[in-house]
Structures are given as structure tokens and as C-alpha cells.
Amino acid sequence: LMRSRRRTCLICKCIFKKVLLTVLAMPHFDIVTNVMILNSVSILSAVLQVAAECCANVQKRDKMVPLSSIIFSLLGYILFIVSYLINEDKPLKLIKPIGLAIFGTICVSLNWWENYSTLFKNHFLEKISEDIARTRNVVCILSSVVKILITALVVGVSVPPAEWLSLKSIPTTVSTTVFGLVAVQIASSAMCRWFAVVACKMHALRRCFVVPMYIASVAVLIVFLIPLVTFYVHPTSSISFCENRTVQHSSPQWLEPSVASLLTEVTGTLCTRLIVVERNIKGLAMLGSYALCWWLGLILGTVYIWFLKIQRIERTQDLFSKQMYEGAFLEQSMLLSTRFEIKKQCSTVHVYFSVIYLCATMWHETYAEMMKIIISMFRLDKYRPKINKPKDATFEFHIYFDDAFKDVNKGKARHANEYAEILVEVIREVYTYVFLYNSQNRKEDVIISTPYGGRLEYTLPKGNTMMVHLKDKQLIRHKKRWSQIMYLYYILGWKLNRKGKLYVVQILNQHAVRVIPVKFLQKEKENTYILALDGDTDFQPSAVLLLIDRLKLYPEVGAACGRIHPTGTGPMVWYQKFEYAVGHWLQKTAEHVFGCVLCSPGCFSLFRGAALMDDNVMKRYTTRATEASQYVQYDQGEDRWLCTLLLQQGWRVEYNAASDAYTNAPQDFKEFYNQRRRWGPSTMANTIDLLGSGRLTSKRNNSISKPYILYQVISMGASILGPATICLMIAGSFTFIMNMDPNLALLLATVPPTIYLILCFKLKSDTQIQIAAVMSILYAFLMTGTILSIIGDMVKQQTFMTPAGLFLISMTLMYLITAALHPQEFSLIVYGLLYFLCIPSGYLMLVIYSIVNMNNVTWGTRETGGKAKTAAVRAIKKQVMQATCCRCPCGSSTEDGPSNTFSCHINVHVLFLYIFLYIIYLYAFTVYFYISSLGWIEELQTKSDDFSLHTAALSEVGCLFTDLMVFKTCGALLLTFLTCEQIFQDEVEFWKELQKQYLEPLNENPEQQEKIAKDLKDLRNKVTFGFFICNAIWLVATMFLQAIGNSISLSIPKIYPNGTLAEGESFSVDPISLMFLLSFALLLFMQFFAMLYHRIYTLIHFVAYVDTESKAVQKQSSQKVFLQVLIV
């Protein structure tokens, strides 16, 4: 309570001094003096700088700059006093205003004491600073209210009562001028503050922040001194200006009277000083002298900003000590509140570098898909080399290959399967290409037998490590979620705890004391990141670094995702390209702006280690599904469930639109439906889980407010009622095209989906998809009719001001503007027509298929078997051999992506090279039959003959860490080292314990499987009934409203395009349709404005990234990409 009183008193004193300066002192001086005297508020800031630097024992030359600022400010005060005393007829009457002005500016300069309070070891100041920082928002609100009250009190006391009566007789032009000035001041100050912050975040600190703030007052001075220049050129004109300052005489006719009066009065204040009259050179010289002294004092007092080092996108609260700007002296408050730091001669603080683990999960990826992810890893290795690495982050690559082994010799042995062999071939191909154009020596790589299968360890060309973990499903649990659990516990459990087994020996008074580094471990968790990848993801290094920025900037962010681009060819991919674009342009940005993103896709997402290790996140993520709903929520959408756990624990998930990643999209209709069959129910299950705990989540998570929960409820309701909405749209096209009765048209529109719903319960999944494909084509024709019906209705009504017409036109314009704001993706707008035609397939047929088949919990994609699998492997091996024998693909891919070109170099020896490599091909084909009888280690060694993979038992590799880190703290020497005894034996024990506790292969109990299958069908039946009964109620309600007719319909007047009303004509809209239309339009417009906001800050982040990358990296990235996609 005592600290609160002291803090309140301190704030009130600072506000009172500001009011003294602006209300009581400044009205007595001319405009130039008032503008320049504000520069003197830097005097006490300079004093505090000197005091702080004395406490820090910095060099004397560093103290000279703030000392010079103090001298110039004091000299300005002296010249200011002398100037007014020698140029006024009655100098005694200005003694009080001059004293108030000097006293006020000195006291106002105390306003930025927080900028220096942390530099003094004072308990009282530290406590006040902590309290203000903790209650920053409340303090800002209260200080604003107190400022208004104190200003009103001072004005009320200082103005005589008789003068208040004159307010009634103020001319209209004067009141308009005053209110206009207030509006201009508020708007311009707010815009200036925002642009100043943006300039700092863009790393344009010097040219776009410091320099404009310095020259602001000088620019104002030049504008107001124009009459002086006019006088010395034409003396009679200037005297006329001072003696006859009238609106008619001095203002052009095109100026508003209020504006002309303002300019005349403001500039005319110079005449009250008699500076212009009779060529008062001395008065002008004195004015210029003290103005220059104060300006130099401000520059020298804030020159430290010129050398300030900030992060890529610094938080505003880290940039400025005060969150509120001062409207009366804007540029001074912005400069003086910029953080002041003292350079330390010898840093005693341990620097925690970020460690990013790239973890990709693989299963049945093709050669081309594997090539994408491997090239991306090699590209990042070159961009961020471990040797001579930049001082920001280190990278480590991990690939977790699911089900990498197969039975041979009737189960007597286990060999690596075809897909694992393909991965080794891909790594060898990329590795060989890199060393073909690089002369450095290749390091030896290792192949290790592990408790879960095997591990390949590669040292990439620039020193980073890549590990390929080959999982044997007979030894460890398979499927993607368990692979994620495997690397989460390996990286955040074993690897991180290896750093925790430190013994810090503190040499103090010749006694060694062991200290448990708890803070060290906490910092390591916060600076450890995991980038989750799919086996076919293609990305650029900049995409990873932009995601890292989001997590470094905000400690409450637990995960961040980027813009996912589907790749491939064909109508299904074109549909998905526009679907992904709209989802990211509008939905993801709206979630990011209004609350936080609900799902960070597993194909390209960055997670914070501390967030994953939080309570009820990683531990609960290991939960084995035992109930039907858990199978849908846990295993069908593992990435969304992990994000749900993070959100419920209070972490924020963000979206970065500048971070681009490319992943293969289903090109087949069946594969697309099977993929969405997993996504649809799992998305609904996780959203319902999050909304069900909405009250508790909103208390824990600051990013999830109750209005945001309401927004998600409305979005969820719109998704549930999607099938009914499609039926209403199709019924509308029937009504217009065939002149059908609305109720009959609605009944006819609901018959095909109802029949398809019944068939889905009776037929096999493949047959359901075939029927859906046929119906999708028929619905595409109906959607064409729907578009023509809306256009025809507008033509028939001779106006586009119909409910449907306005909706169609506004949506078209909104999508066009949105695409225009994404210039690199603008071409995707051409797929919008295809997307519109496929709306019934995506929001009606697919929804029915997903809900009815939610009891099918198989993966549905990349599943091959029998002849199809053999044919696929044969084709892949052919591609591998082609890529091996040709340094360029035999065909070219037209798919857009970050790297899709490869330069072929033809020389005179190409024919002989081809013959030679063909012989190698025949030899490799012969060797393939030979190695089938070898074990998996010998097999992969044969596949990797260019690497010289060395076999090593896990306990024979040696110590993982051998470096000795030495640093100093508080004058004592600390030696930090890691225990190396039997380190890999510890890893063996770790894997065995992890397998025993979480990752044992599942014993398939027929009775349990039968029970789960029955429970899944029961869940399917309940969800199907509830889902479609809601749609049926909506349709029935609409049918009854149409049957009742005009008695309850809303009448909307008909308006022609020229704005005239049509007499006696109107449109009838039933209330439910209008409400749904308005709700849907409101959601879209909210998403549109959120997109505009998000685009601005995405641009800020991107410009900051480009501006802060080192010149060497920029030069490197501007050169030709060293790795190209080697895909036939």
C-alpha cells in the first residue's frame, strides 16, 4: 500500500509539472520559443545518464556526450532569460512565466526516470519500476484520467471567473478551429507514434526514427520563420504583415477562414517579440542561439539511440520505457523514452543460443517427396553452417522412419524395406551432388543398431548433424503420433537432461561447491525449439527463421505455423490450392488477430520446448486411446490435439504468413476424401473439447477471450449447418431456372444427399467415393446454374441491389482484394471458379462421407499393398536409377515451389559418360539381388558405399560431449563440463524405459478391437443423428416459413444502381435466411479486416527480416541455389 501511494504521488507530481509548463508558462511566449523550449526537457535525462555511467565505471569519453548535452541545455536557459529581459518593454512581468517555463521543463524531464532506474542499485526505485511494469495498463489508464483532472483544475484556478463568460461569445470560426486543432493533434500524434514504432521494428532506426525526430522541431521553426525571410527580402511587405494581420489581407481566397485565421495568428506571434520590426538583428540572433543550444542538447542527450542494437522485431515494451507518448512534446517523449543501455566491458552473463531440432516423420513417401525434404535440410545446413555459425541458433536434423523393416526368409530375419532403401539412395544422391561441387573432405558417417531398430548418423557438408531413426514396429510402437512422442522424449527428455547433468565447480576461497543449474535448464527449455515436419515438406531457410522470430519475440507463444502451399497437378490440387489460400488468407489470420490459431499443422510447425514440457501437454499426449471418441480426437488429428493441449494450458499459437512451406496434396479424388475423412471429425472433436473447457481456458489463456469463444461457436455452427445451406442454394437455382415452387425445389434439393446418406451406411468406402465423384460432377452443373440464376435475377430485377446479388458481388470483390494483397499468390484466384463449382462436393458430399465413416480410424493415405505396392516400388527404383545416372532429370516439373529447376551441363564427353554409367546401372541391378540375403546393416552399407558408413555398437561410440566451456561470473571462475562415462549406455537404458512405459508395440486383442469397433459405430450413429438433425430442423424451418408466405417475411425496398427507389417494388426475405446471410457475411467481413491488419504486421516482420540478415547470408541467398530438385 505504501508503494502504491508513493507511486501515485510521483505520477501526480510529474503530471502537475507538465500542466504548469503547457497551461501557465507557454501561452506567454511566441510559437518559435514554445517549439524549441520543449527540446530542453532532455536535461535531467542527460544527468541520469552521467550518473548511471559513473556507477557502471565506463570510460570518460562515454560520459562527455551527456555532459555536453547538460552544458548546451543550461546555456540555452541562460540565453533564453537574457533574450526576453533585453527585448521586452516590461521585463518584470515575464519573470514569473520564464521561471515557470524553466522549472516546468526541468521537472518534466523527470518523466523518463524509469529509463534509468534499473541502472541504479536502489531498492526503492527497483520496487517502483517492478510495480509499474506489472500494472502497466492500469497505470496508463489512471494517469490519463489524473492528467485530465489536474489540467482542468489548473485551468479553472488560473483563469479568472469573469473570463469564463466570454466562452459564450466565441465565433463559430474560432470554435471550429479549436476543435479542428484538437482532432489534428490527436490523429497526427497517434499516427506519428505508430509509424515511429514500426520504423524501429523494421530496423530503420536511424533513417526513419532518429533523424525525423531530430529535424521535426527544426522543420516547424523553418515554416514559422518564413515571414522573417519575407521581411529581409521585402521589408515593407513584412511590416504590413505585422501591422495588418487580417484574414482578407493575408490569406488566399481558396483557404477556409478558420485555417487562414489559424496560420495568421500563429505566425503573428512572432510580431509580439518585435523581432521583425525595425530589423531587430539582436533579438533574432538570441532566438536562434538558445533554440540551437536546446536542439543540440536534445541530440547529444539521445545520441545513444544511434548505436542502439535491437532484435529483429522488438516488442514495443522492450523498445520504450513508457508506453504512453506525450502529445505536447511528441518527438521529445519518443526519443527520451527509448531504452538506454550501458555497454558492458566484459559480459559475465551466459548467452543462451537457440537450438532447433528439425524432426520429420516418414512412412511411405515416394522418391520425389523424400528428395524435397532432404534438399531442404541440406539447404538449411548451408544457410546456417555449424562451422563459423552465426550467433543466433544451431540446427540438428532428425528423420523418424516408421515401419522401416520387413521380414525376410519367412520371418527369420529383419531387413530394411524398400522405402528405407530409397531414403538412403536419396541422401546419397544429394550428398554426392554437394561434394561434386565442393572440395571439402567428407566426414565419416555411422550406422548404429538401437533398441528401437537402427540409426544412421550423417555429418552434413557444413557440419550440422542429421540422424535417421529407423523404427521396427516389432520393437516400438508405430504410427505418426508415437513417432512424435518418440522424438519429444528423446530431445526434450534425454538430450535436454544430458545438459542438466552438469556439475558447476565454483572456485571460491579454494572450496568447490556443486550447484544444481535449475535456471540453466529452464533457459534451455525456453530456447529449445522443435520444428515438426512431414516427409514431403519443402521449405526455405528463411521460413524457419521467421517462425523462430515469433517464438523469440513473445515468450507466451508455444507454437507457430507458416503458410502451407499444396503442390501437385490436376483439378483436385487446383481446388485445394484455392481452399488452402482462403483458409490461410482469412480464417488463420482471423484466428491470429482475434484470439490465437487453433491448429498448427504438423507438416511445418515450430514448437517451444518449454511449452511441450508443460503440465498436461507432452505427458497427456502419450495417452493411449481407449475410448471411441479418443480414437477420433487423438489419432486422426494429432497436430490439432497437441495444439488444443497447448491452448488449454495457456500457451498461444501464432500464424506467420511470410513463412512458406510446400507439401504434396492428394491428387486423387479417393485419397482426398480419405484425408478429409480423418480431418473433419477430428477437427470437430477438438473444437468441441476446446469450447467445452472455454471458461477455464479463457482464464488460463490470455489470447482466448469469451468474445473469441463466441466467434468460434458461430463458426462451428456455420460449419454444422453447411449441408443445409448448400441445399438451400441449390433449391434457389431450381426455383429460378425451372420456375419451381420453393418448397418443392427445397424438397427436391434434399433428396440426393439423403439417398447418399443412406447408401453410405450400406456400401463400402470405395463405392461411396465413386458415387460422391459422380454426384460432384452433377452438382458442378447445378452450381453453374446457381451462378447464372443469381446473375439472371439481377438482370431481371434491373439492379444488383438484391440480397443474393449484393452477397455475390461483395464476396467476389473481397476475394479479389484479398488476392491482390497477396501478390505472389494472386494467380490462385483463377481456381476460385473451380472452388465455387465444387462447393457441394466439399461442403455436402464430403461432410456426409466423413461423418458416416468416422468409425474408420485407419490413416487412409499412403497405404499400399500387394501388387500396387510392388509396382510403386518398381517405379521408384527406376526413378532412383535415372536420377543416379543423369545429373539432371529426364523431364521437367512445372510445379511451382521454392526450388524446382536444375541446370544441365552438356559436354563432349556426355556420350561416354552415359555408356559408363549404364554399365554401373547394370552392376547395381545385379548387386540388388545379392544384398537381399544380407542383414539390414550390411544392406544399407552397400546402398551407401559412397559414405563409408561405419558400424558401431551404441555403447562403443564414445562420449557425446567433450568440450569444456569456461566462463566467468562475478569475478569467480566457473567450469562447466558434462559427464562422459557410459553415456550411450545411458541412452540404451533410456530407450528401453521409454519403450516399456509408452512405446511398447500394441498387442492386438481381438475382443478389445471388436469392442472398439462397436463403440466407434455407436459414436458414429450418435454424431450422424445429431449432425443431420440440426440440418433437418433448419430446412424444415425454412420450408414452413416459405409456406406461410409474406405474412412474416421481411420486405426490403428495391433500389436501382443509380440510387433511386422503385415505387411499389420490394424483395421478400424470410427472417431465418436473412439472419443466416447476415451472420455469414459478418464473419467474412470480420475475417477480411483481420486479414488487412495481419498483412501490415506481416510486411513489418518481412522487411525487418530482410534488413537484418547478414550481408554474407544475403549474398549467399542471392546466388544460384546450390541444390536443385532432382525429380523426373
255 and 386 inside one domain: no
382 and 460 inside one domain: yes
In degrees, rounded to 5, the angle at the alpha carbon of residue 133 between the alpha carbons of residues 130 and 135 is 110
300 and 440 inside one domain: no
CA 654 to chain centre: 5
Mapped onto helix, strand or coil, the DSSP state of residue 466 is strand
Mapped onto helix, strand or coil, the DSSP state of residue 888 is coil
Rounded to 5 degrees, φ, ψ at 973 are: -90, 125
Residue 787 covered by a domain: no
Are 564 and 584 in contact by the 8 Å Cβ rule? The answer is yes
Are 1047 and 734 in contact by the 8 Å Cβ rule? The answer is no
How many folded domains does the chain comprise?
2
Please give the pLDDT value at position 604: 95
Predicted structure pTM score: 0.82
Are 297 and 76 in contact by the 8 Å Cβ rule? The answer is yes
Residue at which a domain ends, from 941, 971, 999: 999
Are 902 and 448 in contact by the 8 Å Cβ rule? The answer is no
94 and 222 inside one domain: yes
Please give the pLDDT value at position 858: 84
Distance separating alpha carbons of residues 70 and 908, to the nearest angstrom: 77
Residue at which a domain ends, from 336, 360, 381: 336
Distance separating alpha carbons of residues 475 and 995, to the nearest angstrom: 8
Distance separating alpha carbons of residues 1125 and 659, to the nearest angstrom: 20
Q: What is the pLDDT of residues 949-970, one digit of tens each?
A: 555 544 433 333 222 222 222 2
Residue 442 covered by a domain: yes
Residue 32 covered by a domain: yes
How deeply is 196 buried, as exposed, middle or buried, from its count of CB atoms within 10 A (0-12, 13-18, 19+)?
buried
Please give the pLDDT value at position 1078: 76
421 and 360 inside one domain: yes
Closest CA to 1088 of 823, 820, 832, 833: 820
Residue 1040 covered by a domain: no
508 and 393 inside one domain: yes
Residue at which a domain ends, from 336, 364, 381: 336
> For strand 502-508 and strand 511-515, is the pairing parallel, antiparallel, or unpaired?
antiparallel
361 and 488 inside one domain: yes
Please give the pLDDT value at position 874: 52
Cα separation values, 686 from 372, 563, 580, 593, 1099, Å: 31, 22, 20, 21, 32
Residue 196 covered by a domain: yes
**Three-class secondary structure assignment of 468-493:** EEEECCCCCCCCHHHHHHHHHHHHHH
Closest CA to 251 of 268, 235, 234: 268
In degrees, rounded to 5, the angle at the alpha carbon of residue 30 between the alpha carbons of residues 27 and 32 is 125
In degrees, rounded to 5, the angle at the alpha carbon of residue 436 between the alpha carbons of residues 435 and 441 is 35
Mapped onto helix, strand or coil, the DSSP state of residue 1101 is helix
Cβ neighbour number for residue 507 with a 10 Å cutoff: 12
179 and 312 inside one domain: yes
DSSP 132: H
Closest CA to 114 of 322, 366, 295: 322
247 and 359 inside one domain: no
367 and 250 inside one domain: no
Counting every residue written for the chain, the total comes to 1128
Please give the pLDDT value at position 939: 58
Containing 540, the helix (H) or strand (E) segment is none
DSSP 615: T
99 and 124 inside one domain: yes
Range of the domain at 187: 2-158+175-336
Residue 441 covered by a domain: yes
Residue 1041 covered by a domain: no
Q: What is the pLDDT of residues 26-56, one digit of tens each?
A: 887 877 788 888 888 889 888 888 887 777 6
Pick out the chain residues at pLDDT < 50. Answer: 1-2, 237-240, 245-251, 254-255, 274-278, 345-350, 439, 502-516, 866-870, 872-873, 876-877, 879-915, 921-922, 925-934, 946, 953-983, 1111-1112, 1115, 1117-1128
Residue 325 covered by a domain: yes
Please give the pLDDT value at position 268: 61
Cβ neighbour number for residue 925 with a 10 Å cutoff: 11
Closest CA to 805 of 789, 824, 783: 789
Cα separation values, 887 from 429, 882, 890, 946, 992, Å: 9, 9, 9, 16, 43
Are 800 and 1057 in contact by the 8 Å Cβ rule? The answer is yes
319 and 280 inside one domain: yes
Closest CA to 65 of 380, 353, 296: 296
